[in-house]
Amino acid sequence: MLAEHEKLAREAAGRDEPYAEYLLRLTELEVAARTANAIAARIRAAGFPVIKEFDTFDFTAVPNVPKQKLLELTRRDWIDQHYNACLIGGSGTGKTHAATGIGLALCRLGLRVKFTTAANLVTELESAQQQHRLDRLLGALERFDLLIVDELGYLSFSRSGAELLFQVFADRYERASLLITSNLPFGEWGSIFQGERMTAALLDRLTHRCHIFEMNGESYRFRESMKSKDDKAAKTAKPKK
């Protein structure tokens, strides 16, 4: 506000603006600056690996994904209703990109979002447990309106790691939202959590009130790299006579 104050004051004086209006404009500027700062702070706190938005998301690459339904996750209704969301699909199908787009949009709506990977979360939980500060970590996680757990399924966990992850998921059940991405269909989650009983109990809670998206299709990464190879080939190919 101070940075803009002088410019505004000159303008106001030049136009003979009433003092109250000038103050109002100054206050509006201050509020806008604070809102922008708060959003930037929430985005930093969320810990997104890269900043990816939906404006660069090509829905034609995933024709099976209902576009409007996925975009609805950028609104806060599902968070308010403590729904979960799962994005399931092979590598490179845009799960992390979409999860980040959703998280960013919700940060802008004033929600507290945390982005982590399953492997990182388990490591953090295990070290917190060893250092007798698990309760504190669980308490910190509870304060997020949305916990995004990316890449569930690439690594399997030890029994104790799986139990800790289960605890986080169970704690949020009907109280706060989770967004999970996984390369594994639900039927194969037993291999992550070791043991049918824990997997069944977890899936039961996770999917009870859940928006599920199957991001099938070929890998976008793969497709893009093939395209650029084709382009290069086309460029280096000798023109036909």
State the residues that interact with Mg ion by CB under 5 A: 96
Encode burial over 215-239: b for 16+ CB neighbours within 10 A, e otherwise: bebebbeeeeeeeeeeeeeeeeeee
| Residue 52 or 211 having the CB closest to ligand ADP | 52
DSSP 3-state assignment of 158? coil
- Would you say 63 or 239 has its CB closer to ligand ADP? 63
Residue 93 site contact among Mg ion, ligand ADP, none (CB < 5 to 8 Å, cut-off depends on kind): ligand ADP
Q: How far is the CB of 48 from ligand ADP (least distance, A)?
A: 12
Task: Specify whether the CB–CB gap between 129 and 164 falls below 8 A.
Answer: yes
Question: Which parts of 96-155 interact with ligand ADP (CB under 6 A)?
Answer: 96-97
Residues contacting 45, CB < 8 A, separation 6+: 112, 114
The secondary structure element, H or E, covering residue 36 is helix 19-46
Does the protein bind ligand ADP through residue 91 (CB under 6 A)?
yes
Tokens (6 digits) for 62: 């995933």
Binding mask 44-83 for ligand ADP (x = CB under 6 A): --------x---xxx--xx---------------------
- The contact set with ligand ADP (CB under 6 A) reads 52, 56-58, 61-62, 89, 91-97, 220-221
